[in-house]
Structure 1
Amino acid sequence: MDGMDHDHMPGMNRTTPPPPHGHKMMMMHMTFFWGTQAEILFSGWPGTRTGMYALAIVFVFVLCVLVEWLSHSRLLVPAKPGVGSGIIRSLVHALRMGLAYLAMLALMSFNGGVFLAAVAGHAVGFLAFASGAFGKPEEVYRPQAGKATADLPLMSC
């Protein structure tokens, strides 16, 4: 480079302008951390109160249980294939994916408690709706020909 250093390159100055409109900038964690001082999904939420953090943990847990429920349940009455049932299945799929993406965004807080709540929510949801612990284990893993065991195909990574 023609004798220029990083201090003289555009956009690479040492002074950082203050945040607009008096907003405080919060550093995002890029590694897992433990503690109640986290931002989960929304700016400023759950805040600094431990009770709100506990509510956020419960929210993530329930969110993951709902993803499992939508993934493994049979909500719709089996009907003839058609546009109407296809639209309803598509809407249920969109809801499931929206909830799964919300859970993923919550995990991006890198908070250890949020991570454990998400894993526990998926585990409890799987136990309740897909493991066969509460009946019909044969139907879950060996569906009969032509009989769907859930409204939506299973999610896979």
Structure 2
Amino acid sequence: MYALALIVVFVLAVLLEWFKYGRVISPRWSRVVARLAQTAMHALRVGLAYVVMLAVMSFNVGVLIAVILGHAVGFLLFYSSVFKRPPLPDEESKGYLPPMACSC
């Protein structure tokens, strides 16, 4: 059960990175649909972030390592230039979720 819990926490951390950096919204969607999808994805991302935070707050070193490795693998897969295709000219401003940090 402990190994299964570590795998689930690892996958949650990878999913969190996918929601943070992955392309989710298609540029072909209408503005209203795109904004509704963006809102739903933001709520899901925040919910996953809280679940991962609660897992880390268990003060279990194995869970902490699984979360760190999950974030690292997710970052490598979804943000790093190792597996990333070059963006299309009009793609920089469309289809990506805003960053987690406030840009106030």
Relative to the length of structure 1, the TM-score reads 0.58
Aligned match for 1:63, one of 12, 15, 21:
12
Ranked by relative contact order (alpha carbons within 8 Å, sequence separation 6 or more), the top structure is 2
Q: Which moved more, 1:118-127 or 1:69-78?
A: 69-78
* Equivalent in the alignment of 2:3: 54
Q: Please list every run of 5 or more consecutive structure 1 residues that lacks an aligned counterpart in the other structure.
A: 1-51
Is 1:100 aligned with 2:55?
A: no
- Which of 84, 88, 99 matches 2:33? 84
1:91-125 residue CA offsets vs partner (Å, 9 max, x unmatched): 01111111111000101101000000000000000
| Structure ranking higher in helix proportion | 2
- Alignment identity in percent? 47
Q: Which runs of 4+ in 1 moved over 6 A?
A: none
Of 134, 148, 152, which residue of structure 1 is paired with 2:93? 148
Task: Using the TM superposition, name which of 120-129 and 75-84 deviates more.
Answer: 75-84
> Alpha carbons of 1:145 and 1:82: their partners in 2 closer, same or farther (altered >3 Å)?
closer
C-alpha deviations, 1:34-54, integer Å up to 9, x for none?
xxxxxxxxxxxxxxxxxx011
Q: Which structure is larger by alpha-carbon Rg, 1 or 2?
A: 1
| Count of residues in Structure 1 that have an aligned counterpart in Structure 2 | 102
SS of 2:59's equivalent?
coil
Contact conserved, 2:17 with 2:71, CA < 8 A, in 1? yes
- Contact map agreement 1:71 1:150 (CA 8 A) in 2: no
